[in-house]
A and B are shown apart, each in its own frame.
Chain A
């Protein structure tokens, strides 16, 4: 039987993905100020 996902379950995945993307940005020694900006932008998509 297939199981449908819940919004809560789906949203629980998002913070990890944000961290992954930010970690990638950090490999370029992006200063913290800009990491925070990118984080704020990423979160826009989950609103």
Chain B
């Protein structure tokens, strides 16, 4: 939804039906990218539930077919991109943006998988520096920067300068969001956050444990 909102703000006007459709399509392509990541991550992390429902790969008839399903969700992005933006002047830029953001998110996932393997947790691996890398790459690029960059390209007004400016605002914003999310996992009230946080129990590489490790004495550790 932040793609059509960004486009409308850039134009300082309500969108025509065509503009709304195109920008919402770019928004849905962002959702497809997220679905591709989440379906894959849940398999890698052997997660149980997602959005209050069993993870896709845990559906009895799905299993490891979910790996191929994730690839197909990714492929759907480029089917839609071609169908609606083939003749857009920024077609190649839009395509490169999706590819680059995908790669960045995979770097974040790599760092996360290696730093905090589900089965053997080694706190010596944790650090706020790695935490920040994981958050920025695994989350902030695709969920905060991507929608605004798509809006700039869609309006054909993207420049290295405004893309950089968007990055300088949105990447710290994404980091702030994730730190807050990690904090609320433990200190938020279940009735406010809609779930019972289990990050500590699950040995998650969250902001809290990294901050705690930074300030503890060797004995407290």
Contacts and interface: CB of A to CB of B under 8 A. Distances in A.
Tell me what chain A mostly uses at the interface: helix, strand, loop, or mixed: helix
Interface in A1-47: 1-5, 7, 9-10, 13-14, 17, 20-21, 24, 38, 41-42, 44-47
A14 B4 CA distance: 14
Interface of B: 1, 4-5, 8-9, 11-15, 20-21, 24-25, 27-28, 31-32, 34-35, 39, 51, 53, 56, 69, 72-73, 76, 79-80, 83
Contacts, number: 65
Most buried by B among A3, A10, A44: A44
Contacts of A21: 76, 79-80
8 contacts: A2-B13, A3-B15, A7-B1, A10-B1, A20-B79, A21-B80, A41-B56, A41-B73
Interface of A: 1-5, 7, 9-10, 13-14, 17, 20-21, 24, 38, 41-42, 44-47
Nearest to B33: A45
Contacts of B72: 38, 41
A1 B12 contact: yes
Contacts of A47: 51, 53
Contacts of A24: 79, 83
A41 to B, nearest CB: 4
A41 B72 CA distance: 9
Nearest to A10: B1
B24 A2 contact: no
Given A41-B72, A44-B35, A5 B5 contact: yes
B1 A46 contact: no
Contact of A4 (B8, B80, B83): B8
Contacts of A7: 1
A17 B27 CA distance: 11
Contacts of B34: 45
B1 A5 contact: yes
